[in-house]
C-alpha cells in the first residue's frame, strides 16, 4: 500500500450514474488485477474504495457509480484537480488456475475490475469469455471495450431490453469454461456460486471503514475463520467461502 497524489485527466459520465475517472500518477504499487484504491475526499471522514479498472504506465482508470454524497462529490471534480489515494490495496485475482478458457462474470459496478483481468488473461494466451449483467439497456457500459480487447462478450439485462433476458446465471448455463472469475453484488455472487461448474474466484463488494485491515469492519466468514475483504480479500476462492444466511 502506498499513499500517492494523482491528477485528474478525465472524469466522464458513461451512463446516468456511472463515471470513468482517469488519473495521472505513480501506479507502481498496483501489482494484480482486482486490487482497489481508497480515495480521500475533502470534508469526508472515510475514504471511498473503488476497484481499479485499468492501468497503463502512469495512467490509472477507475469506474464508479454515484450512490451517495461522497461519489456525487467525486463526480463534480474537474480535469487538473488532485486526489489523495491509497493504492495497491487488496490481494487481486490469481491468474495461475485460469486454464485455457476462463469465464469472467460481472454485475453492474462489478464489471470494471474484470477489464484489466481480461487483458492480462489474453496476454497469457487464454481464450476469454465474459458475461456482463445489468438491470436495463441504459445501464450498460464497457461492453464495447471488452469486445475491442478480443473478449467474447455476452450481455444480460433483467428486463430484456438488451442481450439475454435475465441474470448472468442464465448466460452461464450454456457456456463451457475452464475456470471463472466474478465480481458483483453479493446476491449475484451467491447465484454464481450455485450455478458454476468449475472452481473460481469471487471478488466481494463490502462497505469499508479503513480499507487496509485495521478496523475489521468488512470481514467475511471462511473455512479458516473471518477474513478482511480489504486485506485478505477482496478476492476469495470458491472453496473457502462460507455464505452467511
| pLDDT tens, position by position, 84-139 | 999 999 999 999 999 999 999 999 999 999 999 999 999 999 999 999 999 999 99
Q: How open is the CA angle 32-230-72, to the nearest 5 degrees?
A: 95
Question: Residue 213: its pLDDT value, please?
Answer: 65
**Span 57-68, average pLDDT:** 96
Neighbouring C-beta atoms of residue 186, cutoff 10 Å: 14
Q: How open is the CA angle 116-154-62, to the nearest 5 degrees?
A: 30
Question: Residue 243: its pLDDT value, please?
Answer: 87
C-alpha cell at 238: 470458491
Q: What percent of the chain has pLDDT above 90?
A: 85
Whole-angstrom distance, CA of residue 130 vs CA of residue 163: 13
Whole-angstrom distance, CA of residue 115 vs CA of residue 124: 14
Main-chain dihedrals φ then ψ at residue 150, nearest 5 degrees: 110, 20
Q: What is the pTM of this model?
A: 0.94
**Span 206-233, average pLDDT:** 77
Residue with cell 428486463: 159
Q: Phi-psi region for residue 211, left (φ > 0), alpha (ψ -120 to 50) or beta? A: left
pLDDT surpassing 70 at residue 215: no
Q: Domain boundaries in the chain?
A: 2-89, 102-205
Neighbouring C-beta atoms of residue 3, cutoff 10 Å: 11
Contact 8, 23 (CB under 8 A): yes
CATH topology for 2-89? Elongation Factor Tu (Ef-tu); domain 3 (2.40.30)
Contacting residues for 71 by C-beta, under 8 A, at least 6 apart = 48, 64, 65
Q: In the CATH scheme, what architecture does the domain 102-205 have?
A: 3-Layer(aba) Sandwich (3.40)
Question: Residue 74: its pLDDT value, please?
Answer: 98
pLDDT surpassing 90 at residue 233: no
Amino acid at each position: 500500500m502506498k499513499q500517492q497524489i494523482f491528477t485528474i485527466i478525465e472524469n466522464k459520465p458513461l451512463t446516468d450514474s456511472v463515471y470513468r475517472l482517469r488519473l495521472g500518477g505513480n501506479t507502481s504499487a498496483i501489482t494484480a488485477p482486482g486490487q482497489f484504491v481508497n480515495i480521500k475526499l475533502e470534508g469526508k471522514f472515510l475514504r471511498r474504495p473503488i476497484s481499479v479498472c485499468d492501468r497503463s504506465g502512469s495512467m490509472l482508470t477507475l469506474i464508479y457509480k454515484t450512490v451517495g454524497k461522497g461519489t456525487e462529490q467525486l463526480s463534480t471534480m474537474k480535469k487538473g484537480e488532485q486526489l489523495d489515494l491509497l493504492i495497491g490495496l487488496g490481494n487481486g485475482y490469481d491468474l495461475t488456475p485460469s486454464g485455457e478458457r476462463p469465464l469472467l462474470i460481472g454485475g453492474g459496478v462489478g464489471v470494471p475490475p474484470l477489464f484489466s483481468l481480461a487483458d492480462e488473461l489474453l496476454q497469457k494466451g487464454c481464450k476469454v469469455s465474459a458475461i456482463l449483467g445489468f438491470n436495463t439497456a441504459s445501464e450498460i457500459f464497457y461492453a464495447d471495450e471488452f469486445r475491442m480487447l478480443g473478449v467474447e462478450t455476452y450481455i444480460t439485462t433483467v428486463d430484456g431490453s438488451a442481450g439475454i433476458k435475465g441474470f448472468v446465471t442464465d448466460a452461464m448455463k450454456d457456456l463451457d469454461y475452464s475456470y471463472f472469475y466474478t465480481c458483483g453484488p453479493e446476491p449475484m455472487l451467491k447465484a454464481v456460486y450455485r450455478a458454476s461448474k468449475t472452481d473460481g474466484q469471487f471478488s466481494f463488494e463490502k462497505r469499508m471503514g479503513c480499507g487496509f485491515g485495521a478496523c475489521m469492519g468488512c470481514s467475511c466468514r471462511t473455512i479458516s475463520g473471518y477474513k478482511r475483504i480489504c486485506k485478505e480479500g477482496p478476492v476469495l476462492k470458491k472453496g473457502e467461502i462460507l455464505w452467511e444466511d
